[in-house]
Amino acid sequence: MDNPIWIADAGQMLVTPLLQAPLLQLILDGLLKSLLLIAAFVLLDRLLCRRLSSASRHLIWLNALLCLAVLPWLPALTALWPVSPGTGQSVTTGALIELTVSPSVSPGTQLNIGMALLMIYLLPLALLLFRLVVALYKSQRLYLTAVPETEPATVELLAKLRLSLQVSRPVRIRLSASIDSPVSFGLIRPVILLPEQARDWTESMMTDVLLHELSHIKRLDWLTTLLAYVVASLYWMNPLVWFALKQMRDQSEHSCDSAVLAAGRRDTDYAENLLDVATRCLHARRGRNGHHPLMQPMLDHNTLTTRISHVLEDNKMQSTDMKKQIRRSALVLGLVSTAMLTALGTTQLLSAQESAGQPQRPAPATRSQNEEMLPIHSEIPVYPRVAAEEGIEGWVHVRFTVGADGLIPASSISVVDAEPADVFNNSAVNAAEKFQFRPRTVDGEAVAVENVQYVFRYKLEADPADPLDPAVPESARNLLDQQPPLAPKPPVAPAG
């Protein structure tokens, strides 16, 4: 039977360096927030799917992915917001904060595990982005090898449909033997690419296909697909992101089908033309281009049946009613997204200062409107190797000033007292130089805070039952008794 103590130690060795690495902590925190964010939009879509049109549902999923794009920038944005009096966690002048340091993980092990975990994230991300570059290259090659459509009837039909759909950008039609289904791509000068079999299509079939692809172009679906794929790649560990991307693309197809019907085409004729085009393009049933990240074929055998059913069962909405619903949906989604992003931006689900086996201290209540300084990052001091090997324990009491930019000027750091003298001083000072705070603001202006004090306890074995080493001077103990620590204990630091 496995030793539970050994398992716990091994788990702590894996979790501790993960939580200590700022980049890895940021990735995990973003992953957890992205799961909550997408889950909220999944619930919203399920609740409203029967009431909303495909265009509004597409907007839900596009909005979800755009929120994920904003998510990594929330800490920087919230740092610019003034902290309201009486809210949040704060630090005042004279606050004494206690951090415990112990040499339980070696630097080599911490570095190796942290780098391995970081590579596990970066390698798939690089592959996904490389796949995007290849897709862009293939799209360019398809365009260059395609033959321009010169049939006057088709060119005139395209111009007529562009005018009816109010597509102002120039659109070109090309024929290619390398595709199995009509597709469209491009932003400034978009192109509609048709298979060679299009030469034999009837006018009705060509009209429906061009209406469908022009609807994609008008809605900027190629651009939104490109951005959504980049966001999904950044959050590739979140399975709900890929679900959201698929839902967005499916609703995009349904929206363009609805746009064809809204242009005056009969649902039965359109469904029949979809089947007829798919029959003439026999290879379309193989879905050869179905996995292209930037091209969504009009005829995909995986979704064709569902789309035909949707076309025949779709509740036709007037164009004006659809526009009103989209505007209302955009307004509601904007409010919901702002609320969720605000909540996630002011909450850190995973703190780099937390560790297994060390519970976070509760934050004290704010006592005045000037208590607005918030710790953002507390660097973990390195336990000196010589002290660890010789079994030396002790503490260092440092004082410094937090500048208006939230950083610690090196010249402001001073050692108030230490025991034993000159053993842990350099370790504590080097760590304090890397501390970061959200600056204190007064009337909207960031101000410096002086006399911020930390006690670094260096213990070979941290004892949670012992809140303060008895060797800490009485003055520091009294200050701690008067004001509880305002920052959580960090994970244990390596010897080095």
pLDDT in tens, 285-322: 444 444 567 777 777 767 778 888 888 876 666 667 77
166 and 252 assigned to the same domain: yes
Does 110 fall in a domain?
no
Poorest-confidence range of 222-236, 307-321, 412-426, 461-475?
461-475
* Listed residue (18, 41, 210) closest to 116, CA to CA: 18
140 and 284 assigned to the same domain: yes
pLDDT of residue 79: 53
Domain boundary among 298, 316, 334: 316
Poorest-confidence range of 30-34, 166-170, 279-283, 403-407?
279-283
pLDDT at 5 over 50: no
pLDDT of residue 212: 93
Does 60 fall in a domain?
yes
167 and 192 assigned to the same domain: yes
Residue 56 in tokens: 């509004």
Domain boundary among 316, 348, 377: 316
Q: Which residue in this structure is represented by tokens 């035909």?
A: 308
Does 358 fall in a domain?
no
91 and 130 assigned to the same domain: no
User: What's the CA dihedral at 399, 404, 406, 407 to 10 degrees?
Assistant: -60
3-state secondary structure of 292: coil
Contact 403, 465 (CB under 8 A): no
135 and 267 assigned to the same domain: yes
Residues 32-50 have pLDDT tens digits of 889 999 999 999 999 988 8
298 and 167 assigned to the same domain: yes
Residues 351 and 434: their CA atoms lie apart, in Å, by 17
271 and 420 assigned to the same domain: no
pLDDT at 488 over 60: no
Does 418 fall in a domain?
yes
Residues 325-347 have pLDDT tens digits of 888 989 999 999 988 888 887 67
203 and 298 assigned to the same domain: yes
* Listed residue (218, 248, 217) closest to 232, CA to CA: 248
Q: Which one is predicted more confidently, 379 or 241?
A: 241
Does 151 fall in a domain?
yes
- Whichever domain contains 97, its CATH number is 3.30.2420.10
167: Cβ contacts below 8 Å, ≥ 6 apart: 214, 217, 218
Does 465 fall in a domain?
yes
How many structural domains is the chain composed of?
Answer: 2
Q: Which domain holds residue 370?
A: 4-104+364-482
* Listed residue (402, 395, 381) closest to 449, CA to CA: 402
Does 328 fall in a domain?
no
- Whichever domain contains 203, its CATH number is 3.30.2010.10
Beta bridge partners of 304: none
Q: What does the pLDDT average to over 240-263?
A: 92
Predicted confidence band of residue 190 (pLDDT cuts 50, 70, 90): very high
164 and 207 assigned to the same domain: yes
281 and 197 assigned to the same domain: yes
3-state secondary structure of 471: coil
Residues 113-161 have pLDDT tens digits of 667 777 888 999 999 999 999 999 999 999 999 999 888 999 999 999 9
Q: What does the pLDDT average to over 85-104?
A: 55
147 and 15 assigned to the same domain: no
